[in-house]
């Protein structure tokens, strides 16, 4: 154990995820991470949006008609957020999301964040994490603010090591007709090279 992190536990989680998950081209596709979140929410839920930026997720949720309590967390104090430090939060949530956040963090900070998320969820709570798909040739590398890449199986492994279960992984891609055609044409090559056309991945897990 170093820096308070049990690396052996993380390795075991990663190995378990790698054995249970299929190749990237077999992972189901969803149109957006918003679609995944909307399918999880129900009236009365409390949701925490980590890295909320302009609170755009709140607008999307309100448009669904679901009656819930939305809370935002961000380090940018120039914007109106409910929290600016996850350590100061003293309540529980039914759903916690971190959309395109962890790629901007070191691995150690991501491990700490997942542990804290686990503490803040209710007993039936769920977490939603999205990040660039590193199996895509350029999605992660085209942004100089990105720090740590996560393969889909590694992300699942981190969630397992943090105490989460029933983990589901999706690829994010709004598939147009031309995209579907290209996929079927190049599918054998994609499988051979272990690369993918979907720019993002999203993981959902239960506490």
pLDDT averaged over every residue in the chain: 89
**pTM over the 0.85 mark:** yes
Domains of the chain: 7-206 (3.40.50.150)
1 pLDDT band (50/70/90 cuts)? Answer: very low
Residues of the chain with pLDDT > 90: what percent? 64
- Tell how strand 93-99 and strand 69-73 pair up: unpaired
Higher pLDDT, 17 or 93: 93
Render pLDDT for 63-91 as a digit per residue (tens, 0 to 9). 888 999 999 999 999 999 999 999 999 99
What percent of the chain lies above the pLDDT cut of 70? Answer: 90
């Amino acid at each position: 154990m170093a820096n308070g992190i049990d690396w052996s536990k993380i390795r075991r989680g990663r190995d378990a995820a790698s054995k249970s998950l299929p190749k990237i081209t077999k992972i189901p596709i969803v149109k957006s991470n918003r679609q995944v979140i909307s399918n999880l929410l129900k009236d009365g839920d409390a949701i925490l949006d980590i890295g909320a930026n302009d609170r755009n997720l709140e607008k999307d949720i309100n448009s669904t008609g679901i009656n819930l309590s939305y809370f935002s967390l961000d380090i940018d104090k120039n914007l109106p957020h409910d929290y600016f430090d996850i350590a100061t939060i003293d309540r529980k949530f039914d759903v916690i999301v971190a959309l395109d956040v962890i790629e901007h963090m070191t691995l150690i900070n991501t491990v700490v964040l997942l542990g804290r998320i686990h503490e803040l969820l209710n007993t039936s709570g769920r977490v939603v994490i999205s990040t660039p798909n590193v199996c895509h040739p350029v999605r992660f590398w085209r942004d100089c603010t990105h720090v740590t890449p996560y393969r889909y199986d590694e992300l699942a492994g981190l969630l397992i090591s943090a105490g989460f279960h029933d983990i589901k992984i999706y690829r994010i891609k709004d598939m147009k007709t031309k995209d579907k055609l290209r996929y079927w044409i190049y599918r054998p090559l994609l499988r051979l090279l272990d690369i993918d056309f979907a720019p993002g991945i999203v993981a959902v897990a239960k506490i």
